Structure 1
Amino acid sequence: MAWKTFVLSEASNRLFEIVLALAVFISTVFSICLFTAPAQYDPYTDNSKQIKIYDEDPEEAKEEIRKRNEQGNFRSGRTIQVVVLGDIGRSPRMQYHALSIAKHRGRVYLIGYKESEIHPDILSNPRIHIVPLNQAPPFLRSSSKLLFPVVAPLKALWQARSLYLALSYRTPPARWMLVQNPPSIPTLAIAKIACFFRNTELVIDWHNFGYSILALKLGSNHPLVKVSAIYEKVCARLADSHITVTNAMGRVLKEEYRVAALPLHDRPAALFRPINSQERAQFLARLLDTSQYAQDLSPSAKNPWKLIVSSTSWTADEDFSILLDALSAYSAQATSRTQLPKLLAIITGKGPLKGHYLAKIQQLNQEKKLLNVIIRTAWLTPEDYAFLLAAADLGVSLHTSSSGVDLPMKVVDMFGAGLPVVGWGKFEAWPELVKEDVNGKGFESPEQLTEQLVELFGERKDALKIMKAGAVKESENRWDDEWDRVGKPLFKFNF
């Protein structure tokens, strides 16, 4: 009996020690969280007077203070974090959001990777502060499909830490957080956690669905794709508001995600505009990629060449082989049909598959399959890119839409420059942007694209003129008007 009492006493002491240790651990964690929790947004405090103290770079801190001193007409309570887990310079829509918010006297913290050139108006605006994210180590940026299941979780953890620090500690509390989706992992979860701690309202800007892009890499039946789809739906329901790039995407969010979204269609910035013949000639003579062909591209030339432009991110959702096949077929026809002009094709952009397609272009040249076509690749400043679109005769979009309900921003920019477009049109949202034979045409195969090039540059030049007029008319639709219709009431700038 004494032995049983001793055992029970020992068990009670052990249980007490475990409970005490657990209590101490929970108390310690709670205390750490309490003292290190990020500052909350207070609607009754003028956050414009808060000083940014989290950056380690003293020069950056001085620059921040200088900008604050120039913000005399900032509207209190209009601080917004604009977040893109990608290159800011290659995210024009999020840059346009930032400029629109600043235009309405809001203060913006633009958070993302600072890799390529950023819109000059962003850099010069005293109400916009760029918060660069730290890049993941090179070994976590591998594009290998074989290593993806191992590398992807590690990269996501790295990004989660970097993003959370930026959202919670490197910026003052904001009233709203506007987040680009995709990428959805880990962006949406981290954004929601930061919003919870900081008393911030989360707004998701749906450019596409993250799981649909992941499916391009892994296949639609892959477990990670299915988990990603569920994760995206859960995170969607945790957000406070939603905007989309198309009506079709809004329909999917309503029917499948059970959330209401406001469509805010992409529109070109003021940078993209039609130009006159004199501006065109001067630009073509100045640009390195076109200067040696400027005389051939002039309408006064004996047999004037045509300039086509395609902007690509060199990714899996843009099958660039479609254009290469079409250009090869066009070149073959132009050999026997002398009325067809030679083509100069300028391809702009950066991306993981660029090397692969450059090798294919080199092979086609070696096989003499591009005798009547010259292909050049370029990475241009925003100003030169806008001029190139305005100077071209035809734009080509290869965006195939992984979800079927998003739209390529590149086509919007082409219309802004008054450039007619032919593009992959085999997806639901295409008619929201392109009016067939009015400002552009859709194709569904390399053969159909070849037919369109032959038709527009040879047999039916009048059709190209009609599409040009339609594109110039479309250029009148501008971002500011669209944003004011949706953004102003959403972020309460009407009050």
Structure 2
Amino acid sequence: MMDFLEFWGTPILFVSLSFSLFLLCLPSRHVPPKKDEKPRVVVVVLGDIGRSPRMQYHALSIARKGGLVDLVGYDESSPRPELVDNSKIKMCPLPPPPGFLRTDTPIRFILFAPLKALFQLTSMLYLLCYIIPPSAGYILLQNPPAIPTLAVTKLVGALRGMKIVIDWHNFGWSVLQLKLKEHPIVYFCKIYEMFIGRGAYTNFTVTDLMGLTLKNDWGVKTPIKTLYDRPPTHFTPLSPEERSKFLESHPATAQHASSIASGATRLLISSTSWTPDEDFSHLLGALLIYDRWASGANFLKRGSAPSILAIITGKGQLRDGYMARVEALEFQHVTIESVWLESKDYPKMVGCADLGVSLHTSTSGVDLPMKVVDLFGAGVPVAAFEYLAISELVKDGVNGIVFKTGEELGDALVNLFNPASQRLKKLREGALEETENRWDENWDKVAAPVFGL
């Protein structure tokens, strides 16, 4: 016996201590709320919180219904003020990846994406396992990105007894395909996303078509609920006085304010991420077509065609290249301004527009651009690039128009902004009807029961 203990004693002690240490390191399990307590939800976005409006709206809706929220994401730009000031919402910023792990080119993606994912995985695991209190019973995560969020949250859910709710904005593999084309990594990511994405407690999708894809093509058996993007209350039509006041106060529009108010200039707005899936050349070509038409019309009869002030909002890697092209063009009746709007100014600029343009083409064909929802909230008609799911939002000839090429968009601008046409007025009436469909009412009906609110 002594010989046995002398030989095996140290290994047994080591294993015992290791197992004890493992048990001590396990995160605490979820503690259900008492009868008089509301649930606590962890809202996760592996991106900039300030540039993730839908997840901000989720957090605000949960808090409005009395729930507590831990909002996890990168603290890069300012979120909405009412979110920061809400005592029921706690900001839990993730540490940003080191600069050398940038994946903005295909080569850098292949070299550094695994290391970046590992950094994100460890930082998310630590925060979700040890910082988030055990009273949190749900994790609501945005997808994409799918790597590593789907795997991390599924592991955390199993360890802590939390329910995972996926808010499907798009499919991560389709976004990756835009960058890497037919690389084997794309197919690995598709299999990963399909396999791990099946295990959620509930799934929210932004379109019916996306829900059908999850059910029929991916074999998702858990509940799938279509939660359409709807405008929050801060996107609302402006009175003529409010419109004039903002146009006169903002540097991008101040010198055009009087001509916009009189109709001599039409205000067009387009929010873009300046990425390949939002081809700005469509809008640029359309504005060239309009400029040629306006030049001819005004040559024959001075003042017979309005000018266009095009406000382009957003940041992205292709911005500088396109703006250099804009500066080289000699527009006569078109002015293009690229601006970055703060969260308090963006809804007002949207409300001032005569027409919004969406260049979103969708990598999957089944998502919808939230920028269109914002425009409808302000009663502004939309010209949207046509693809599979866009008809779930933009009704051609009712609240907007759809186009497939820059030439089609250019012809539409001529038709809509021609003073002799009543088509823009009709589309605006249809867009104003969309202002009745709001985020809060839709969220209360579809999402609140999922969280027991």
- Asked if Structure 1 and Structure 2 have the same fold, meaning a TM-score greater than 0.5 normalized by the shorter chain, the answer is yes
Q: Find out whether 1:316 has 2:279 as its counterpart.
A: no
Q: Find out whether 1:356 has 2:329 as its counterpart.
A: no
Percent same amino acid at aligned positions?
Answer: 47
The answer to whether the 8 A contact 2:166-2:202 is kept is yes
Q: Find out whether 1:32 has 2:21 as its counterpart.
A: yes
The TM-score normalised by the length of structure 1 is 0.86
Residue 113 of structure 2 aligns with an amino acid whose one-letter code is A
Cα offset, 1:439, TM superposition:
0.5
Residue 130 of structure 1 aligns with an amino acid whose one-letter code is M
Greater RCO (Cα-Cα under 8 Å, separation 6 or more): 2
Match of 2:176 in 1: 214
Q: Distance in 2 between matches of 1:41 and 1:99?
A: 23
Gaps of 5+ in 2: 299-303
The answer to whether the 8 A contact 1:43-1:77 is kept is no
Q: Find out whether 1:332 has 2:292 as its counterpart.
A: yes
Q: Distance in 2 between matches of 1:329 and 1:33?
A: 67
Residue 415 of structure 2 aligns with an amino acid whose one-letter code is E
Cα offset, 1:371, TM superposition:
2.4
Summarize deviations over 1:124-164 as a string: whole Å, max 9, x none: 11000011111111111241222211111111111111111
The answer to whether the 8 A contact 2:153-2:164 is kept is yes
Residue 242 of structure 2 aligns with an amino acid whose one-letter code is E
Match of 1:179 in 2: 141
Cα offset, 1:324, TM superposition:
1.1
Match of 2:333 in 1: 372
Match of 2:449 in 1: 489
Q: Distance in 2 between matches of 1:29 and 1:381?
A: 52
Q: Find out whether 1:241 has 2:230 as its counterpart.
A: no
Question: What aligned pairs does 1:109-124 form with structure 2 within 5 A after superposition?
Answer: 109-124=70-85
Most deviating of 179-188 and 484-493: 484-493
Q: Find out whether 1:298 has 2:261 as its counterpart.
A: yes
Cα offset, 1:362, TM superposition:
2.4
Gaps of 5+ in 1: 1-12, 47-74
Among 309, 312, 323, which residue is 1:347 paired with?
312
Q: Distance in 1 between matches of 2:91 and 2:318?
A: 29
Match of 1:140 in 2: 101
The TM-score normalised by the length of structure 2 is 0.93
Q: Distance in 1 between matches of 2:252 and 2:244?
A: 14
Q: Distance in 1 between matches of 2:319 and 2:96?
A: 21
Match of 1:277 in 2: 240
Q: Distance in 2 between matches of 1:151 and 1:237?
A: 28
Cα offset, 1:28, TM superposition:
4.8
Q: Distance in 2 between matches of 1:288 and 1:182?
A: 35
Distance 1:31 1:314, change over 3 A: farther
Distance 1:77 1:277, change over 3 A: closer
Cα offset, 1:195, TM superposition:
1.1
Q: Find out whether 1:265 has 2:254 as its counterpart.
A: no
Q: Distance in 1 between matches of 2:198 and 2:41?
A: 21
Bigger Rg, which one? 1
Residue 377 of structure 2 aligns with an amino acid whose one-letter code is G
Q: In angstroms, what is the RMSD of aligned CA positions?
A: 1.8
Q: Distance in 1 between matches of 2:21 and 2:294?
A: 72
The answer to whether the 8 A contact 2:205-2:224 is kept is yes
Question: What aligned pairs does 1:385-424 form with structure 2 within 5 A after superposition?
Answer: 385-424=346-385
The answer to whether the 8 A contact 2:236-2:379 is kept is yes
